[in-house]
Amino acid sequence: MLSLDRLLKESERIEPVPQVIHQLMDLVDDPEVPVSEITELILYEPVVTANLLKLANSAAFGFKKKVDSVHDAVVLLGLKRVVEIVLLNSVTKPLKSAHQGYGLEEGQLWKQSVSCALMANDIAETIEAPGKHTVFTAALLKDIGVIVLDRYMNDAMETIRKAMEIDSLSLVAAERKVLGIDHARLGGRIAEKWNFSETLAGTIQNHHLTDEVTDIPKQTAIVYLADCLCSMSGINGDLFCGHYAHYDRICQQLVLSEEKANRIMSDFYSRKENIYGLLAIL
C-alpha cells in the first residue's frame, strides 16, 4: 500500500498553480471589481502575459489589429475567456505528458481534462450555477493525482483491471483496493497543499462520488456529470469510462433534462477539434 505522505512529497515535482490564479478566481466573479484590477494581476506574470498575447494574436482569433497588451486582450477576448486561458496555460505542461501506467498517450490526459472543464462550464451556464470558475478549475484539475500515481500503475495495472472487470469496480475503487489510495483523493490532497479553497479541493477529491454522500454540492455534481459526458463521448481513456451509477440522480439534482445534457455533449463534440487546435498554441 502506498503512503499518502510519500505521494504528497512526490507531488512537489509538479509545478504548483501560480498564486495569480487564486487571486483571479477570487476577483473575477465579483461584478464590482474593475477590469483594471484584474489585468494588473496578469501584468506582473511575464510568462502568462506572453502566452496570452501569443494566443490572442494567433490566426485562430483572426483579429485585424495586433493585440499588444493584456488590457487589449481582455477587451477583445472577454474577461471570462482570458481567465480561462491563464488557468489553462498554468497547468499545460504536467497534463500534456504521456501517462502510460493509465494507458494514456501524450496529450490524452490534457484533452480529457480540458474537455471536462469546458463541458462543466457549459453545464454551469445552462443551469445558471454560481461559481463557474471554481467548477472550471476543479474539472480541469480533477485528475492531477494521475500524474503522481502513474509510475505505480505499471506494476499494478493487471490487478486493477481484474478488480474492475471481475468485481465490477470503478477505477477509483480498484485503485483504493490495490494501491490503498485513489487518484481523486490524492488530487484533493494535492489541491489542499497548493492552498486551494476547501470547496475546490473537496470537489476534486469527491468528483467520482465514490463515497456515500447524501448531500452532493452543486459544484461536485457538475464536475461528475461533465466527466460522465466526456466518457460517453469517447474522450476519456478506457480506464476512466463505464461507471455512471449516479448519472440520473445528478441530472435530477441539477434539473438538467436528458435533452439538454445531450445537446451540451453534441455541441462540444462538434467543436472539439477546433478547441484542441487552439489550445495547442499554449
Task: Read off the amino acid at residue 197.
Answer: S
- Determine contact, residues 282/92, Cβ cutoff 8 Å: yes
d(CA 17, CA 82): 16
Q: Which three cell numbers stand for residue 200?
A: 475546490
- Within 10 A of 44 (CB to CB), how many other CB atoms are there? 9
Whole-number Å distance between alpha carbons of 192 and 52: 27
Provide CB contacts within 8 A for 210, sequence distance 6+.
Answer: 170, 172, 173, 182, 184
256, pLDDT greater than 90: yes
Q: Are 260 and 252 in contact (CB under 8 A)?
A: no
Question: If we measure between CA atoms, which residue out of 177, 116, 185, 175 comes closest to residue 150?
Answer: 175
Would the pLDDT of 281 be above 60?
no
Least confident of 48-62, 163-177, 239-253: 48-62
Separation between Cα atoms, residue 211 and residue 25, nearest integer Å: 28
Sequence-distant (≥ 6) Cβ neighbours of residue 269 within 8 angstroms: 233
Question: Which pLDDT score, from 0 to 100, does residue 278 have?
Answer: 66
pTM, to two decimals: 0.87
Please give the residue that has the higher pLDDT: either 271 or 149.
149
Q: How confident is the model at residue 242 (pLDDT cuts 50, 70, 90)?
A: confident
- Report the pLDDT averaged over residues 144-172: 93
Contact 152, 168 (CB under 8 A): no
For 66, half-sphere exposure in the C-beta direction (CA atoms, 13 angstrom radius) is: 1
Cell of 109: 490526459
Q: What is the CA radius of gyration of the chain?
A: 19
Exposure class string for 9-40: b at 16+ Cβ within 10 A, else e: ebbeebeebbebbbebbebbeeeeeeeeebbe
The dihedrals phi and psi of 242, each to the nearest 5 degrees, come to 100, -5
- Mean pLDDT throughout 209-218? 80
| pLDDT tops 90 at residue 99 | yes
